[in-house]
Chains A and B, each alone.
Chain A
Amino acid sequence: MTIAKLVTVQAAYDDFLQRSLSKLSCDLARLIYLASTRDYNTGSYHHEGLAARFSPEVATKALEIAHRQIFLQLSAYSLEELVEQLRIYFDSSRDGASEILRMWQKLEPYRIAIPVEVNPAVARLFLSNVRLALAIWRSRQEQSQQDH
């Protein structure tokens, strides 16, 4: 990749961070959003607004970098921080926390939020931590139901 192209990708990345990602409530929401811009079949990223402002190729690269960065950031979180991320995500969602919790434990949709080229141990740590954070939420819910 040439220096000029790298500069453009950086500009697209900054633009995307400022216009889209910063509007989301937490890093977990950012990860889910970024993963949703990826095509299930081809693995390439698409974002119309970003592609129109820059180019489809530059937008794809910027999204890929953003996805990887946010994923690594989340994977390095402690379990306590991840539980807090879940709280913010549940609170900002229109659906009820119990419903999201049930679906997330059943379908494990966060599994498809992992970038393609990622270290296997880091990927395993992320999946394991989300599973644990959900179990902690479930346990807290059950305890509060017993208390009432």
Chain B
Amino acid sequence: MISIPIAILICSVVMLSLALLATRGASVKRELAFRTDVPLYDETSGDPSLCPPEFAARIFSPADWTFVSNEKSRDVARLFQHERRVVALVWVHQTKTAIRRIMREHTRVTRQSQDLHLATEARLVFHYVQLVAICDLLILAIQSTGPARVGSLATYAASLSQRFADAQHALAITTAARDLSNAGTAH
């Protein structure tokens, strides 16, 4: 059994970590806006889709780093580390924004629906929270160790976000069809 002071301490640490991650995410967004040639994904006018998973694999692949290392140029190595870090951060930021948009769209659809499956909804929310947490973790990891070391986590995030988008899409279609069918029966 955990005592109350320890529980409060654990809660405080968790809250502080979350606040730190959120602040870090916001500062990364500001930093990227200055450091990238292509404007950051804009929720209102940008491409709303997720980045295709094969490009995530390319961004986080260690193969390019091996190639650059063999060139034996300190300037090129430095440029590579800087460039790839920025691209990786753009990818994470875009993924995070896209899943937020998907979740918002899902909330809009479920608000209008009369027949909800609690278990499915809970699973979707769990995936969403997991994805946001992974993205925040990736931001910290990319900034501290570089993108090549977090390749497997990024690939996992890419496939999970794709599954999340597909599940939301399928759910939206099923909900719309069910509501239509219910409306037809009522009349």
Contacts and interface: CB of A to CB of B under 8 A. Distances in A.
Are chains A and B native binding partners rather than an unrelated pairing? yes
Majority SS at the chain B contact face: helix
Contact of A119 (B39, B55, B75, B79): B55
A119 B68 contact: no
Nearest to B49: A119
Contacts of A125: 55, 58-59, 87
Majority SS at the chain A contact face: helix
Contacts, number: 82
Interface residues of B, number: 33
Contact of B76 (A78, A122, A132): A132
A114 B47 CA distance: 14
A79 B71 CA distance: 12
Chain A interface size band reads 20 to 34
A52 interface: no
Interface of A: 75-76, 78-80, 111, 114, 117-125, 127-128, 131-132, 135-136, 139-140, 143
Interface of B: 36-41, 46-47, 49, 51-52, 54-55, 58-59, 61, 63-64, 67-68, 71, 73, 75-76, 79-80, 83-84, 86-87, 90-91, 94
